[in-house]
Amino acid sequence: MKGKKTSSSFPHVFVILLVIMAVAMVATWVVPAGEYSRTFDEQTRKTVIQPESFHAVESSPVNPFQMFIAVQKGLIQAASIVFFIFIVFSSIFIVMTTGAIDASIAWMVRKTRAKPQSANFGFIVMMSVFMIWGSTGTLSYEQMIAFVPIFSSLALALGYDPIVGLAISFVSVGIGFASATVNPFTIGVAQTIAELPLFSGLAYRLLALLLMGSITIWWTLRYAKKIKKDPSKSVVSGVDFGDLEFDDSKIDLKITSRHKITLIIFLITVLIAGFGLLKLHWYINQLAGLFLIMGIAVGLVNSYSPNKIADLFVKGMSKGVLSATIVGVARGILVVLSEGRIVDTIIHSMANLLNQGSLYLGSVGMLLFQTVMNFLVPSGSGQAATTMPIMAPLSDLIGMNRQIAVLAFQFGDGFSNLIWPTSFILIGCVLANVPFNKYLRWFLPLFSMLFVVQVLLLWGAIMIDYGPF
């Protein structure tokens, strides 16, 4: 589906982030400063809050100049992610120059055009695989960065739009990650802090994955069918998709032996990354090194000279500037709140609100609390370490099973990753050439449906006294 470049009055993503940062700065002058005491938990290897230790501290309001300094500090604090994005973009760019991606997309387009009815089946299979895989924590947003441009280009080539490609890749992983069947980085940390058996309550989370996944697949196929019939109904109609547009002159491209080897190297890289995350406790630094090796290996397989590989690496890095700097600027918001010493005050105030009303209202309050907290603490394991020391004893006080508190954390942390600009979804939108406001126009109705299901699942858990086993 061809898009034409049109002007838009919607603010640039940096403008949005700076406005949010300004609001955070004002809050440091209004919200009283406070802190919790923290200790290092040897079992979880995390620094955790002492629930009863909140106390007032000296006010530390952030002034406008300090707010702009926070942008630099945010980039420094997020350096591991920023440079990871640069390396991934550079390595993927080397893969793109080989023509292997174009040839594979051309092959998929030819197959789909020959059997148009197979497109929906293919979407369902791919989304289901990514959701199930994502629910284990071994397929993450970081890994899917490499796939977003590929699926977006494929969606365009098949007559859809990049939103469909984003749904197949990033959104599918996000839905799986939020369902967290055996995710060691979220459920594992939260259940350990809550002193529950590791990965207990799996059957209920499998039900959540089935429900959330089915609704998301239905919503995506419904949208794809609508815009296939009438491209003007696309939420990104009129947007210039740039390099993502598939050139129909490439439709007859054949997959050569070198293309096959390149794709195999790419696939092996992703599989090693999954194994490293799950079994070897890898994270950003190790993944960056792995993708760097992949880029060099692909270049050598395609007979590129060392100088050409280096040149392509630099060119690819330039394409990741926006995505990388978004992460740093977004982190600057958290720097402002932290330097203003009001993060713990916000946590304390929201926790107090939860200690009111019935279990059913309390569960919804916990869900909202975790959803908002995910804006302040984007890391799943970090949010678990920050909030579960409060939520676990609080659930005891109001007579709620701790497993339900973990479920509320899981939902609030996971699904809101797909709406907050401090999360990876903003990078996904940049990679897919989808303006963030256009993405939200597509996703927020789906998020509303998923939120209702989250509430119903929490209430169902209360009714059956969803416990540790």
- Tens digits of pLDDT across the chain (469 residues): 444 444 445 566 678 778 888 998 999 999 999 988 877 766 655 566 677 788 899 999 999 999 999 999 988 887 877 887 788 878 888 988 898 877 877 787 777 777 767 778 888 988 998 898 888 776 777 767 767 887 888 888 888 889 998 998 899 999 998 988 877 778 877 888 787 887 788 889 999 999 999 999 999 999 999 998 898 899 988 777 776 766 666 667 788 899 999 989 988 887 887 778 667 777 678 888 998 999 999 999 999 999 999 999 999 888 777 767 777 787 788 789 889 998 888 777 777 777 666 788 888 988 998 898 888 777 777 777 667 777 777 777 677 888 998 999 999 988 999 998 777 888 888 888 888 889 999 999 999 999 999 999 999 999 988 765 5
Residue 243 and residue 194 in contact, taking contact as beta carbons nearer than 8 Å: no
Residue 83 CB coordination number (10 Å): 16
Residue 40 backbone dihedrals phi, psi, to 5 degrees: -90, 120
Tokens of 410: 């899981």
Residue 452 CB coordination number (10 Å): 11
List 47's β-bridge partners, or say none. Answer: 40
Please, what is the Cα angle at 208 between 206 and 212, to 5 degrees? 125
Alpha-carbon distance of 347 to 338, in angstroms, equals 12
DSSP alpha helices (H): ranges in 302-435?
306-318, 321-339, 343-354, 359-376, 380-397, 402-415, 425-431
Place of tokens 């098949």: 158
Residue 178 and residue 251 in contact, taking contact as beta carbons nearer than 8 Å: no
Q: Which DSSP state fits 73?
A: H
pLDDT on residue 468: 56
Residue 194 CB coordination number (10 Å): 22
pLDDT on residue 292: 93
Give me the amino acid identity at 357: G
Please, what is the Cα angle at 25 between 431 and 440, to 5 degrees? 30
